[in-house]
């Protein structure tokens, strides 16, 4: 009897192990097919992995972990046809450019994200941006998120394990190409901004993080938002609304006190004058100073096609803002993974050039963060304290983009074209049919 029992037990173990092996094999096979040199085979495998959700991305990450780790650790090795296929598969399955260093899975359908959030009990981090997160030339801030925030070791773990991720494009990201006529060209985006919203599993808004923050500050925001999410879970609508109203008011007070502390060094000086450019400037010009990191990338192109070039080159009380940003410089420090990605993207630069590039970049991140915190965030909290906007994310997002980011959906030219601006070009330079 014991021998018979032992034989059956052994048989069951073998069969069970075989089933597990068989279950794993198709996923591993899909991961290999996803980087096939046969385009049709690769496309079909990528679509299947994408449909599997985060598990599909994990299959790719596991199959090519050696190559991925090598490219992160040794950015100078450059690319190869095989690596380009691996990186492309990771981007398409996760729906994010440079996903080889971030390892994140993003939903692009909010209903799918809500379903995943309900099943996991996690909040949703919903990114709104110009362009697509998979695009090389999505809006500048979303590109910086892919460098500064998403690869960061601590942030990446929070996003992978404690949030459901979703992004939605507000509109295409405007691009401009400068052709020097000798084969050299420069292409860049010229305006645009991004915002992260934190939602519950029903898609209801609870928090908003506008623009670019440094890694340490962004991580604090994620942790605070997760705590808020847990505190309002299971509450009645009335209890929830009261808790959120109090939270937004408390946050406005906290920001005001931080502002007062940061501006102590200015004594009796009028710190109200620390603001972005006056509202009479065109939308494309106003957007630049609101985000210094982005402006460093885009300002040259905007100056070439607007009538406010002098205004764009001057931030109101620039020195004072940079002093305040310096008080929070530690929040803007990049971690090793972000630095390695920057090195990979700038392989032609030597060590000293890369160091200067990263140092200036971190200074501008700190400047962006204080402006976002002290200028934009209190206004957004004011909107969110109104039930109309809190209950309608799309309506809130429209007013954020039109009033704070100056990229209103109602202006197809984003302020770059004006009937009052003479250009000596047919149709104002607009190419018909484009």
- Residue 428 located in a structural domain: no
- Residue 143 located in a structural domain: yes
Per the structure, the count of domains in the chain is 2
Across the range 191-212, mean pLDDT stands at 92
* Residues 102, 55 share a domain: no
* Residues 108, 90 share a domain: no
**How does 149-186 read in b/e, with b if 16+ C-beta sit within 10 Å?**
bbbbeebbebbbeebbbbbbbbbebbebeeeeeeeeee
* Residues 384, 248 share a domain: yes
Across the range 111-131, mean pLDDT stands at 97
Contact 126, 197 (CB under 8 A): yes
pLDDT of residue 71: 87
- Residue 15 located in a structural domain: no
Q: How many residues does the chain have?
A: 434
Cα 117 from Cα 115, distance rounded (Å): 5
Give the end of a domain, one of 79, 94, 109.
94
* Residues 380, 251 share a domain: yes
- What is the DSSP secondary-structure string of 100-116? HHH---EESSHHHHHHH
The closest of 128, 135, 145, 134 to 174, measured between CA atoms, is 135
Name the range with the highest mean pLDDT among 136-140, 306-310, 367-371: 367-371
Express each pLDDT in 206-254 by its tens digit. 999 999 999 999 999 999 999 999 999 999 999 999 999 999 999 999 9
Contact 158, 215 (CB under 8 A): no
* Residues 124, 35 share a domain: no
**How does 72-105 read in b/e, with b if 16+ C-beta sit within 10 Å?**
beebeeeeeeebebbbbbbbbbbbbbbbbbbbbb
* Residues 396, 325 share a domain: yes
Q: Domain range spanning residue 40?
A: 31-94
Cα 244 from Cα 268, distance rounded (Å): 35
The closest of 241, 207, 244 to 226, measured between CA atoms, is 207
Domain CATH for 142: 3.40.30.10
* Residues 365, 239 share a domain: yes
* Residues 141, 241 share a domain: yes
- Residue 289 located in a structural domain: yes
pLDDT of residue 339: 93
Average pLDDT score over the chain: 81
pLDDT of residue 428: 60
Return the percentage of the chain with pLDDT > 90, whole number.
Answer: 57
Across the range 46-59, mean pLDDT stands at 96
Express each pLDDT in 129-175 by its tens digit. 999 999 988 888 899 999 999 999 999 999 999 999 999 999 887 77
* Residues 202, 68 share a domain: no
Express each pLDDT in 393-425 by its tens digit. 999 999 998 888 876 555 665 556 666 665 555
pLDDT of residue 89: 97
| Angstrom distances, CA of residue 266 to CA of 259, 273, 323, 324, 352 | 12, 12, 10, 10, 35
Judged against a pLDDT cut of 50, whether residue 385 lies above it is answered with yes
Residue 190: pLDDT band by 50, 70, 90 thresholds? low
Name the range with the highest mean pLDDT among 48-62, 129-143, 172-186: 48-62
* Residues 113, 64 share a domain: no
- Residue 302 located in a structural domain: yes
* Residues 190, 72 share a domain: no
- Where helices occur in 263-391 by DSSP H, the ranges are 283-287, 292-305, 309-312, 318-326, 336-345, 351-371, 377-384, 387-390
Going by C-beta distance under 8 Å and a sequence separation of 6 or more, which residues neighbour residue 106?
Answer: 94, 95, 96, 127, 133, 165, 166, 167
pLDDT of residue 168: 97
Going by C-beta distance under 8 Å and a sequence separation of 6 or more, which residues neighbour residue 347?
Answer: 75, 76, 78
* Residues 189, 59 share a domain: no
| Angstrom distances, CA of residue 190 to CA of 92, 286, 301, 343 | 25, 12, 6, 24
């Amino acid at each position: 009897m014991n021998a018979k029992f032992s034989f059956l037990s052994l048989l069951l173990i073998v069969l069970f192990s075989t089933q597990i092996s068989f279950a794993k094999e198709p996923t591993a096979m899909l991961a290999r097919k996803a980087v096939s040199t046969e385009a049709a085979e690769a496309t079909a495998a990528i679509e299947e992995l994408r449909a599997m959700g985060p598990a599909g991305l994990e299959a790719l990450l596991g199959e090519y972990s050696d190559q991925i780790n090598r490219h992160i650790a040794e950015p100078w090795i450059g690319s190869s046809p095989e690596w380009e296929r691996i990186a492309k598969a990771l981007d398409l399955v996760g729906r994010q450019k440079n996903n080889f260093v971030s390892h994140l899975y993003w939903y692009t359908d909010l209903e799918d994200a809500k379903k995943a959030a309900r099943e996991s009990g996690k909040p949703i981090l919903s990114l709104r941006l110009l362009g697509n997160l998979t695009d090389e030339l999505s809006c500048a801030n979303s590109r910086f998120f892919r460098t500064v925030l998403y690869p960061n070791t601590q942030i990446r773990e929070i996003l992978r394990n404690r949030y459901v991720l979703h992004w939605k494009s507000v509109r295409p990201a405007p691009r401009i190409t400068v052709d020097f006529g000798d084969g050299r060209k420069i292409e860049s985006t010229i305006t645009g901004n991004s915002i992260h919203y934190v939602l519950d599993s029903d898609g209801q808004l609870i928090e908003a993080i506008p623009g670019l923050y440094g890694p340490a500050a962004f991580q604090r925001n994620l942790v605070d938002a997760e705590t808020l999410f847990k505190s309002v879970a299971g509450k009645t609508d009335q209890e929830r609304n009261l808790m959120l109203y109090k939270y937004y008011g408390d946050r406005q007070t906290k920001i005001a006190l931080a502002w007062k502390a940061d501006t102590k060094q200015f004594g009796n000086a009028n710190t109200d004058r620390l603001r972005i450019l006056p509202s009479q400037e065109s939308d494309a010009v106003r957007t630049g100073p609101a985000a210094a990191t982005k402006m460093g990338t885009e300002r040259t192109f905007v100056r070439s096609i607007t009538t406010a070039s002098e205004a764009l080159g001057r931030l109101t009380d620039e020195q004072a803002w940079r002093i305040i940003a310096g008080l929070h410089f530690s929040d803007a420090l990049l971690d090793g993974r972000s630095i390695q990605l920057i090195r990979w993207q700038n392989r032609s630069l030597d060590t000293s050039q890369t160091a200067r590039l990263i140092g200036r970049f971190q200074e501008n991140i700190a400047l962006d963060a204080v402006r976002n915190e002290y200028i934009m965030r209190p206004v957004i909290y004011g909107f969110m304290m109104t039930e109309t906007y809190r209950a309608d994310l799309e309506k809130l997002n429209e007013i954020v983009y039109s009033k704070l980011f100056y990229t209103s959906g109602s202006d197809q030219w984003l302020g770059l074209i004006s009937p009052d601006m003479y250009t000596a070009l047919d149709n104002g330079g607009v190419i018909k049919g484009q």
